[in-house]
Amino acid sequence: MIRLRKIWVPVMALVLAAAFVGAAEAQDRPRRGGGRGMGGGSLLGLLRNAQVQKELKLNDEQIEKVKKINEKFGADMRKEFTALRDIEDRAKRRAKMTELRAQFEAKGRKEVEAVLAKEQMTRLCEIRLQTRPVLDSLTSKEVAEKLKVTGEQKEKLTKIGKDLQAKRMEMFTNMRDATPEQRTEARTKYTKLRTDAEKEALAVLTADQKKAFEAMKGKEIKLERRRRAPRD
């Protein structure tokens, strides 16, 4: 078991780091557990997407700066997440993982704000809301404050999120030896669970909050799915 854990943690570290800085790509392929890219995609990850760069009208200098920031963050995250293998307790390791994600998210936002113009940043945040899981958005401090989410609503949203997470853990914990067909079936089931949870979360909002939440997303943009290169 210890040997498996030592193998799993570094691998997950690479997956999480890649998902964070490359969320624009990760959002189009299933994550562990069958959801979208981690947290629905970071701001830095979205900026790697050529379609997003075009939408924001980034110039060559900005694109180069974004590339360098992503490279640095990728290296830093791999280092930090790989160190999680030294934490024996699973709950503490998961808590530290969540803490690291929040830290890198905050650092990444500051880096992005230093590169983009105000209107570009506003549009990027709109795009992120369109690509991010509803529950992640509604439970974020920024969105909750803008929508004036009440304490009672926060409790309900938190419960919905925890219930979904518990179901995901239960569904995918013992999938190591599953067949491709079983994995596909599990991902399909989880997608349905996530969709139902998001509908439940939106139902927590008032009519005015729902309207405001939709307005925060701005003009709809449909990001094209990246096609994988065929294997030999």
pLDDT at res. 33: 29
Q: Would the pLDDT of 55 be above 80?
A: yes
Is the model more confident about 212 or about 12?
212
pLDDT of amino acid 227: 53
**Global confidence as pTM:** 0.74
Residue 159: name the closest of 190, 203, 103, 106 by CA. Answer: 203
Residue-wise pLDDT tens digits, 133-154: 999 999 999 999 999 999 999 9
CA distance 205 to 217: 16
Please check the confidence at residue 107 and state whether its pLDDT lies above 80: yes
Task: Tell whether the model's pLDDT for residue 166 goes beyond 80.
Answer: yes
Confidence (pLDDT) at 98: 81
Of residues 2, 38, 3, the one with CA closest to residue 21? 38
Residues 62-85, mean pLDDT to the nearest whole number: 89
What's the pLDDT at 232? 44
Q: Supply the DSSP string of 31-73, one letter for each residue.
A: -TTS-SSGGG--HHHHHT-HHHHHHHT--HHHHHHHHHHHHHH
CA gap 38, 113 in Å, rounded: 21
pLDDT of residue 137: 94
Closest CA to 123 of 53, 66, 210, 63: 53
More confident residue, 176 or 65: 65
More confident residue, 157 or 173: 157
* Average pLDDT value over all residues in the chain: 81
104 near 77, Cβ under 8 Å?
yes
How sure is the predictor about 114, in pLDDT bands with cuts at 50, 70 and 90?
A: very high
**Amino acid 226: pLDDT:** 59
Neighbour-count burial of 144, counting CB atoms closer than 10 A to its CB (0-12 exposed, 13-18 middle, 19+ buried): middle
As a whole number, mean pLDDT of residues 110-122 equals 96
Confidence of residue 40 (pLDDT cuts 50, 70, 90): very low
